[in-house]
Amino acid sequence: MAEECTHDCSTCGQDCSSRNEPQDLTEKLNEYSSVKKVIGVVSGKGGVGKSTVTSLMAVMFNRMGYHTAILDADITGPSIPKAFGIKEKALGSEKGILPITTHSGIEIMSVNLLLENETDPVVWRGPILAGTVKQFWSDVVWQDVDYMFVDMPPGTGDVPLTVFQSLPLDGIIIVTSPQELVSMIVGKAVKMAQLMNVPILGMIENMSCYICPDCGKKHYPFGESRLEAVAGEFGLKILGRLPIDPKHSTACDNGTVESVLCPEAQEAAETIEKLFCS
């Protein structure tokens, strides 16, 4: 047995006789909730468009007629409420915390809906951040949700690890951009998903190209994409490629992501839907 055994095998790598294998660390869903499918959206680092892709996928699934939700697990960089123009704060009831419903009917929970001032920084340590994500699963009333998208914190740290362990993810989408060191970053995400036994649905390349609004020609400001080679290397499916479109950033900035028209995002959503409905 390890010298200072805490009897918490999840934080210890020792292979000792008192190891109680394997621990199910999945958090219990609120008794009034029902969530059919949970999809995590991950990226190797911030700024590649993970939150934009999460928002767009939720919007597209909602348009396809599914009751859709977003659990914003990016606690220190929450950007979902802003993209949907949500100003109100979440309220509680005797059943639990109630998510905010957007104009088109998407259910959202984010730390920014609980903070008094949305510009307040979240200066909490890892276990508190991770605990908050768990509570978003166990204490929020998610009613009749068909598809929940989880905007994961970037990287492979404490909080993403907790999300992997505590939420029953049906799959993850890896978001990359052409300027990333895609192979290394995808490799890390793949290993983490494998360790946690979570299926990888595939990759979405964001900011793939820029389509000239005048002549329709595609430009590749970040150079040629290595998406196909990397997807092949890890045996992953390419779910879609989203172009750079200033309309997307404007929509996310002024809270109108629900009105975005993006055929590439629509196609990616349909590809994901097929993975669950075939």
User: Contacting ligand ADP (CB under 6 A), which of 2, 9, 46, 187?
Assistant: 46
Residue 179 in the binding site for ligand ADP (CB under 6 A): no
Cβ atoms of 178 and 220 within 8 Å: the answer is yes
81 Cβ neighbours under 8 A, 6+ residues apart = 72, 100, 108, 110, 112, 113, 118
Of 71, 105, 51, which is closest to residue 252 (Cα–Cα)? 51
Q: In angstroms, rounded to a whole number, what is the distance separating the alpha carbons of residues 178 and 203? A: 12
273 Cβ neighbours under 8 A, 6+ residues apart = 61, 64
| Minimum distance of ligand ADP from residue 173's CB (angstroms) | 12
Closer residue to ligand ADP (CB): 76 or 143 = 76
Annotate each residue in 76-105 with x if it binds ligand ADP (CB under 6 A) or - if it does not, as one string.
---x--------------------------
Which of positions 208-247 make contact with ligand ADP (CB under 6 A)? 242, 244-246
Q: How many residues bind ligand ADP (CB under 6 A)?
A: 18
Annotate each residue in 62-81 with x if it binds ligand ADP (CB under 6 A) or - if it does not, as one string.
-----------------x--
Residue 110 in the binding site for ligand ADP (CB under 6 A): no
What are the strands, taking DSSP E only, across the chain? 35-43, 68-72, 91-92, 97-98, 100-101, 107-109, 145-151, 171-176, 200-211, 218-219, 238-244
| Minimum distance of ligand ADP from residue 252's CB (angstroms) | 4
Q: In angstroms, rounded to a whole number, what is the distance separating the alpha carbons of residues 127 and 230? A: 33
Residue 206 in the binding site for ligand ADP (CB under 6 A): yes
User: Contacting ligand ADP (CB under 6 A), which of 35, 37, 38, 49?
Assistant: 49
* Residue ranges in contact with ligand ADP by CB under 6 A: 43, 46-52, 79, 206-207, 242, 244-246, 248-249, 252
